[in-house]
Amino acid sequence: MWIAGGGCLVIAQRRTRVKFCGMTRADDIREAALLGVDAVGLVFAERSRRRLTIEQAAALRDATPPLVDVVALFMDNSAEQVREVIARVRPSLLQFHGSEPPAFCEQFGLPYLKAVGMGGQGVAEVAAVIEAHRHAAGFLLDSHAPGAAGGTGERFDWADVPIIEGRPLLLAGGLAPDNVATAIRMTHVWGVDVSSGIESAPGQKDAGLMLRFIEAVLAADADQGRRPDDSATVPDRVR
């Protein structure tokens, strides 16, 4: 899109947003912030290997620098649990991975992302979930089947990513430094979400993999003209 300004034409370019999920260590969050991530995810789903206690999550929240969103991830948790997390952890966004109906997700007064399990679902089923959650801030397309947990490191066929105007889509499931650029070029999604693809062990992020992931996203954006070439670099201070 071209915008006139100052007597010349400049091009307005988008960039792919990045969320690092399943954070369990303050040092990993600080490193992610230095790399320029937009959001970090803290997991409260009972079946997750990266699940945090309220006390752990509150400490990680305090370690998160300004202008980095904190996303609290739930999967069929009770409303009381969600409210306790909101009160003590102060997340910017909520993310629901279970069978939560729209009314449940909307009751907390915070913007939310709804995860859509792409495993075994057809276009009609995916569209139905998105239509039902019309007040969601965005949707996270993950590889798990409905009712199953995410964070498995498995991917789905990116050709199945729907085209939905005006609804931010985040791609998750099996993303890693070696494939995220291809995924962005294929799907043109609003953002990408990664957990196991930047880990040395569940919940333990690897600084080298985090850096490579961000570099791959920037390269894909530069290829598509999403951001100026001269800004498609990672700050030298974190190399």
User: Active-site residue among 21, 105, 193, 221?
Assistant: 21
User: Active-site residue among 28, 142, 193, 221?
Assistant: 142
- Would you say the C-alpha torsion 90, 96, 97, 101 has a positive or negative sign? positive
Q: How far apart are CA 25 and CA 205, in angstroms?
A: 8
Go through the chain and tell me how many residues it has.
239
Residue 220: enclosing H or E segment and its boundaries?
Answer: helix 207-223
Which DSSP symbol is given to 160?
Answer: G
Q: Record the tokens describing residue 210, joined without a space.
A: 């985090």
8 belongs to the catalytic site: no
**What torsion do the CA atoms of 85, 90, 92, 93 make, to the nearest 10 degrees?**
10
Instruction: Just list the catalytic residues.
Output: 21, 142
